[in-house]
Amino acid sequence: MAMEKQSRSAVMASIHETAEGLHNAAVMDKPTMRKFEDACLTPVRPLSAEEIRELRERGGTSSAFFDTRCI
């Protein structure tokens, strides 16, 4: 289950989409693509164990469910 990428703004989404196209066409290397992702995408912060538990409870899922999805 892939997580959807969230852009900082509509402009950044457009820039990221263009960079992704260049990377897929082998015109842009991976380190440069990572720089665009850092600049364009919303940072993901680590969740605490308590936050994860609350999310699982809210969604009605078990930790076993996530273990099978994240392999």
In a domain, 4, yes or no: no
Q: Is this structure's pTM higher than 0.85?
A: no
30-62 pLDDT, tens digit per residue, is 999 989 888 888 877 888 989 888 988 888 887
Average pLDDT, the chain: 82
In a domain, 23, yes or no: yes
Predicted local confidence at residue 55, as pLDDT: 85
In a domain, 35, yes or no: yes
Give the pLDDT band (50/70/90) at residue 20: very high
Q: Residue 31's domain spans which residues?
A: 10-69
In a domain, 39, yes or no: yes
In a domain, 3, yes or no: no
Q: How many domains does the chain have?
A: 1
Percentage of the chain beyond pLDDT 70 is 86
C-alpha to C-alpha distance for 64 and 36, rounded to whole angstroms: 34
In a domain, 1, yes or no: no
In a domain, 45, yes or no: yes
Say if CB 40 and CB 6 are below 8 A apart: no
Residue that has been written with the tokens 């919303």 in this structure: 42
In a domain, 58, yes or no: yes
